[in-house]
Amino acid sequence: MRVSQLFNPTLREVPAEAEVVSHQLMLRAGFIRKAAAGIYTHLPLGLRVIRKIEQIVREEMDAKGGQEVLLPIVQPAELWQETGRWDVYGPEMFRLRDRHEREFCLGPTHEEIITDLIRTEVRSYKQMPLLLYQIQNKYRDERRPRFGLMRGREFIMKDLYSFDRDQAGAMVSYQKMYDAYIRIFSRCGLKFRPVEADQGAIGGTGASHEFMVLADSGEAAVVYCPACDYAANVEQAESHPRPVPSENPTGGRKKVHTPGAKSIDDLSGFLNLPKSYLLKALLYQGDERVFLVLVRGDREVNEIKLNNALGGFVQLGLASRETIVKTLGVEAGFVGPVGAPKGMEIVADLEVALMNQAVCGANEVDFHFTDVVPGKDFKIDHIFDLRVVEAGEGCPKCGAPLEAARGIEAGQVFNLGTKYSKAMGATYLDENGQEQLCVMGCYGIGVTRTAAAAIEQYHDADGIIWPIPIAPYHCIIVPVSLKDEAVAETAEKLYREFLTLGIEVVLDDRDERPGVKFKDADLVGYPLRITVGSKALANGQVELRDRKSGQTDLIAVGTVAAHVRAFIHNALEHVGD
Ligand code: ATP
Ligand code: MG
């Protein structure tokens, strides 16, 4: 491709709307343009990156026995009503009506559609395991579409669905996909980490892992153990309860006047007590039910764990001020479990059950109780692991201090059990002619998000630094001046030679100053630049520059193609090392 013909509108300025580097650079380097919030047009260079990621994904899915299909984007409401997800999905679902007023949605995911297919087409155990996948647009009307391709409302996903005879078979499929994902992200040249994950709205009963591309800008917080292989999304990370040493610092059971001490910080300062002696009591509302949720003052409630433990509400969140006042007769800040109204369900974190002299709100403005013993001075209805795990605390597997990292969720694998096959009646006949439910799994990779994540990981002040396997082109040839005939001719000759050798090459044949060409080449992030200038050429040489290391070598014109090929070959062989 010649740059003079390449549709690659670059921008000098950083677009104001772009908060993260990948979004800024994709706009500046002419990879995407916005059509509406979270909806983008992919320009030629951007699309090449996407196609490369898709190809890697496709090869690895096929290698595990996956078969590619293409499911409809427009899906009838009835299928979603069968699983109950027409309501559960809420405002994230794009809904529409046809001319007959029938309801449809634009597929945010495809469990319903594929289960509908399988229930009619799969009859016998002999037809399984079955692994079907597609690479296609997904539609989610995200509450906060942002960060460009990272969180779009229309985005490209690879989704594979596995159907097995039993749970053991489903776990074999799960392991296949887990292994394939390791290969995919390694082949893309990314630094990543698989972590234990929550199952979210897709839900199921078995295992789930997320594949996190590590980047400081990542929306997800991860904890991992440097000593063993434990790693989890903090949404999911198991806490290791640690009791607080008890040396009776609260001075015995009293009702103390704590004027204005509404927050844990206020109260800890006022009583001169570590936060770990205080009880944080929060009123939560899950659909129509309210709960008093207790964690230690130095801990945070993990709402995902809370919701899972309580059985999964459509909506779970802190109760409004009105609800607090109505149910407990007091303002937030002085709420506590002692003397809570009869029938109020009290849910406590594991560590709360270990406290033996806690301070808690007295359900009276400006008053707290000291030396309260949970389980004795008030009843606890449910004890669960409810809190957020933090870096520095003990690994639940081996006890070593956990470390924290941030990541971008680029993929997720789920064991779905029989959630969908049961709801939709996807059954088969086993060897004994008995009807059984198919056991399912689903496995997604955000293709467009992976492209953005790669930029978050690989960039510098000048632009993108593509890992070779997903770079839009491998190299760019830059003739410094077209007026110098020898330069122009050599550049052209090399370009043709590279094309014949199958090297993915771009020739910057524009009549621009070299500075402009270099800036654009760095911005787009071509892994290699071959500069043809009159000085070096006088010695029969051209300059070969590695975008990543910045290393520049003078190479004889006759051998530059071999060098470039070796470089690319080497990079593709050793990705992920
Ligand atoms: P998130 O928690 O980030 O909203 P999710 O867990 O809802 O994502 P999944 O249903 O697991 O997403 O979808 C599989 C993959 O699709 C994700 O791992 C991610 O790479 C990608 N993905 C999900 N939502 C978006 C989005 N809004 N824009 C781009 N990619 C997305
Ligand atoms: Mg996910």
Residue 332: what pLDDT?
Answer: 85
pLDDT digits (tens, 9 = 90+) for 133-191: 999 999 999 999 999 999 999 999 999 999 999 999 999 999 999 999 999 999 999 99
Q: pLDDT band for 312, please (50, 70, 90 cuts).
A: confident
Of the two residues 357 and 413, the one the predictor is more confident about is 413
What's the 406 CA to ligand 2 centre distance in angstroms? 15
Given a contact cutoff of 8 angstroms between Cβ atoms, the answer to whether 505 and 475 are in contact is: yes
| Domain CATH code at residue 378 | 3.90.960.10
> Does the C-beta of 155 come closer than 6 Å to ligand 1?
yes
Residue 339: what pLDDT?
Answer: 87
Q: Which atom of ligand 1 is nearest to the CA of 159?
A: 14
Do residues 543 and 414 both lie within one domain?
no
What's the 139 CA to ligand 2 centre distance in angstroms? 14
Helices (H) and strands (E) in the chain, counts: 15, 31
Do residues 261 and 336 both lie within one domain?
yes
pLDDT digits (tens, 9 = 90+) for 225-234: 999 989 999 9
Residue 420: what pLDDT?
Answer: 97
Do residues 443 and 485 both lie within one domain?
no
The pTM of the full predicted model, rounded to 2 decimals, is 0.89
Do residues 149 and 225 both lie within one domain?
yes
Using alpha carbons only, give the angle 505, 509, 514 rounded to the nearest 5 degrees. Answer: 100
Burial of 488 from C-beta contacts in 10 A (0-12 / 13-18 / 19+):
middle
On whether residue 85 sits in a domain, the answer given is no
User: Which structural domain range is residue 360 located in?
Assistant: 254-384
Do residues 544 and 423 both lie within one domain?
no
Average pLDDT over the chain, rounded to an integer? 94
> Does the C-beta of 331 come closer than 6 Å to ligand 1?
no
pLDDT digits (tens, 9 = 90+) for 353-384: 999 889 999 999 999 999 999 999 999 999 99
What's the 161 CA to ligand 2 centre distance in angstroms? 15
On whether residue 81 sits in a domain, the answer given is no
On whether residue 412 sits in a domain, the answer given is yes
Do residues 353 and 450 both lie within one domain?
no
pLDDT at 297 over 80: yes
Residue 288: what pLDDT?
Answer: 84
> Does the C-beta of 409 come closer than 6 Å to ligand 1?
yes
On whether residue 40 sits in a domain, the answer given is no
Q: Which atom of ligand 1 is nearest to the CA of 142?
A: 27
> Does the C-beta of 233 come closer than 6 Å to ligand 1?
no
Dihedral, CA of residue 373, residue 378, residue 381 and residue 382, to nearest 10: -20
Q: Number of folded domains in the chain? A: 3
pLDDT digits (tens, 9 = 90+) for 33-87: 999 999 999 999 999 999 999 999 999 999 999 999 999 999 999 999 999 999 9
Residue 29: what pLDDT?
Answer: 98
> Does the C-beta of 158 come closer than 6 Å to ligand 1?
no
Percent of the chain with pLDDT over 90: 84
Q: In this structure, which residue's CA is closest to atom 26 in ligand 1?
A: 151
Question: In the 8-state DSSP scheme, what is residue 292?
Answer: E
| Domain CATH code at residue 567 | 3.40.50.800
Using alpha carbons only, give the angle 370, 372, 377 rounded to the nearest 5 degrees. Answer: 140
Q: pLDDT band for 314, please (50, 70, 90 cuts).
A: confident
Q: Which of 384, 418, 448 is the endpoint of a domain?
A: 384
On whether residue 396 sits in a domain, the answer given is no
What's the 440 CA to ligand 1 centre distance in angstroms? 19
Percent of the chain with pLDDT over 70: 97
